[in-house]
């Protein structure tokens, strides 16, 4: 979330690698990385320089208009796969690193969200043509019920499922009955002293007066939030999922 979140990622990934690593792949939801809204080429390159391998995104990926054409050019940046045909970018790709392979699918929910194509049917269509054992899904959605529903629907078909979008980390990490690691929402890396990454002072007038206001990124009580998932690469089943939430000093 904005500059505080980017700085936290840069610092904490090094620490996490020392304590928990090495990691085969590092994936980050990046749609709020540039000033809280969208992504830029410079910000994307900064995130890659910190060791992140893949950037997924949600509805805010369209906020920086200059970046939208780059979605067709940057292979490690994904947007939701269930946008209608013809939308810039891609929502699914297979990545290879140090002899390891991981398929990553990005989807976006429809409950309390823009009405795009069905994420359930889109997942079926893409996964039916995927031969990879290890598959990670980022589901960018508002409703916890929709996230759990899709996770249960895909249980056993994918290795891991992490929800994003609410900026609030949930405490329900688990491996589902058929072997899929699940977390309703992985949370937010950024300032937690305000309102979902923005200062309370800049957001409050919208609630009090109902008028558009300029939101400012919160820089206080910065936390790094993530999930660490171990997958059996022979079966594609998840072995464990560990939730991470730490104050960044």
Q: Which two tokens stand for residue 180?
A: 């899929």
The predicted pLDDT at position 93 comes to 98
The predicted pLDDT at position 21 comes to 78
Integer Cα distance of 143 and 54 in angstroms: 24
How does DSSP classify residue 107?
Answer: E
Considering only CA atoms, which of 172, 156, 122, 117 is closest in space to residue 236? 156
The predicted pLDDT at position 35 comes to 94
Task: Evaluate if residue 89 carries a pLDDT over 90.
Answer: yes
What pTM, to 2 d.p., does this model score?
A: 0.96
Kindly state the percentage of the chain with pLDDT values over 70: 100
* Annotated catalytic residue within 60, 140, 165, 192: 60
15-69 pLDDT tens trace: 999 998 799 999 999 999 999 999 999 999 999 999 999 999 999 999 999 999 9
The predicted pLDDT at position 30 comes to 97
Where does the pLDDT of residue 249 fall: very low under 50, low under 70, confident under 90, or very high at 90 and above?
A: low
170-214 pLDDT tens trace: 999 999 999 999 999 999 999 999 999 999 999 999 999 999 899
153-164 pLDDT tens trace: 999 999 999 999
Considering only CA atoms, which of 159, 165, 161, 126 is closest in space to residue 142? 165
Considering only CA atoms, which of 84, 131, 79 is closest in space to residue 107? 79
Kindly state the percentage of the chain with pLDDT values over 90: 96
Question: Is position 60 annotated as part of the catalytic site?
Answer: yes
Integer Cα distance of 120 and 81 in angstroms: 11
Considering only CA atoms, which of 62, 28, 39, 1 is closest in space to residue 189? 1
- What's the mean pLDDT when you consider all of the chain? 96
Integer Cα distance of 56 and 32 in angstroms: 11
């Amino acid at each position: 979330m904005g500059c505080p979140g980017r700085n936290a990622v840069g610092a904490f990934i090094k620490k996490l690698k020392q304590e928990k690593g090495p990691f085969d792949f590092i994936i980050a939801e990046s749609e709020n990385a540039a000033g809280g809204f969208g992504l830029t080429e410079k910000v994307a390159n900064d995130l890659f320089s910190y060791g992140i391998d893949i950037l997924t995104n949600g509805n805010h990926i369209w906020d920086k208009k200059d970046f939208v054409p780059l979605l067709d050019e940057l292979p490690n940046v994904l947007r939701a796969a269930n946008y209608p045909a013809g939308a810039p970018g891609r929502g699914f790709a297979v990545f290879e690193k140090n002899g390891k392979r991981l398929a990553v699918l990005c989807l976006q929910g429809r409950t309390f969200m823009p009405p795009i194509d069905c994420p359930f049917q889109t997942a079926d269509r893409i996964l039916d043509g995927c031969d990879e054992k290890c598959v990670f899904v980022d589901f960018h959605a508002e409703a916890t019920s929709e996230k759990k529903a899709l996770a249960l629907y895909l249980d056993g078909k994918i290795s891991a499922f992490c929800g994003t979008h609410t900026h609030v980390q949930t405490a329900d990490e688990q491996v589902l009955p058929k072997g899929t690691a699940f977390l309703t929402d992985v949370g937010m890396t950024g300032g937690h002293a305000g309102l979902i990454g923005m200062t309370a002072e800049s957001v409050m007038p919208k609630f009090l007066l109902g008028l558009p206001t300029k939101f400012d990124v919160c820089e206080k009580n910065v936390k790094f939030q993530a999930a660490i998932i171990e997958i059996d690469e022979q079966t594609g089943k998840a072995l464990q999922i560990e939730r991470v939430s730490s104050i960044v000093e």
